Chains A and B, each alone.
Chain A
Amino acid sequence: DSGVTQTPKHLITATGQRVTLRCSPRSGDLSVYWYQQSLDQGLQFLIQYYNGEERAKGNILERFSAQQFPDLHSELNLSSLELGDSALYFCASSAGNPHYEQYFGPGTRLTVT
C-alpha cells in the first residue's frame, strides 16, 4: 500500500458526460501528479500540483482540468468525454521534487461508452 488513495476505483459513463476523479496523497506529501494510461500505452503525464499551485503541465487536454485543495487532496475533472478518454488514471504524490520518489495510487479505471 503506497498510502495514496484514489476514488472511485471504476467509473463507467457515456460520451459527452463529465466526471471527477479524486486523489488523497500520502500524509505529508505536498506534490500531486496525474497520469493517464491507455490500453497498452505508456504512462502519460497530465499535470502536477505543489501545495495548491499548478507546478507543471504535460499532455493535458483542454477538456480536462485539475486542482489541489488546501487539505492537499486533488481532483481531476474530465468533461465532454470521448471514447478515447477510456483509460486508467493514476495519481501519484511526493514530498516535493518529483525527480525522486513518487508513490502511485491504485488508479481509477474510466470506461466511456
Chain B
Amino acid sequence: KNQVEQSPQSLIILEGKNCTLQCNYTVSPFSNLRWYKQDTGRGPVSLTIMTFSENTKSNGRYTATLDADTKQSSLHITASQLSDSASYICVVSDSSGGGADGLTFGKGTHLIIQP
C-alpha cells in the first residue's frame, strides 16, 4: 500500500532560524512529489513539484530535495518568518492510471514560528 510519512508532526522554532521537514514515501511507481503550504483554515498552496530526475528545487526561501533511491524528500526553510507558520503537506503521485486516486497525501507537519 502506498504511504507517505512526514516528520516531525509539529515543530516550533524562533523567527529567523532555519528548519527542515522530512517526507518518506513508499509510493510505487513514482511520478512526482510536491510540497504544499496550508495556512490554518485555508486551501493548500503549491510550493514545489519534483519529478524523478530532479534532486533540488527552490521557491524563494523554500528548498525541496528529493532522493529517489532512498525515497526521501526534505523541505528546508531558510530565515523563517512569522508568515511561515502553517502546515506543510507532502504529496506523492504514482504514474499509474492518471487519476487523483494515484495521489498519496502525508498528514503534514505543523510549523509554528515564534517571535
Contacts and interface: CB of A to CB of B under 8 A. Distances in A.
Interface stretch (A63-71, A76-84, A100-108): A100-108
Interface residues of A, number: 29
Interface string A17-34: 000000000000001010
Nearest to B107: A42
A106 B101 contact: no
A106 B43 CA distance: 5
A99 B103 contact: yes
A97 to B, nearest CB: 6
Interface of A: 2, 4, 31, 33, 41-45, 48, 55-58, 88, 90, 92, 97-107, 109
Interface of B: 31-32, 41-46, 49, 89, 93, 95, 97-103, 105-108
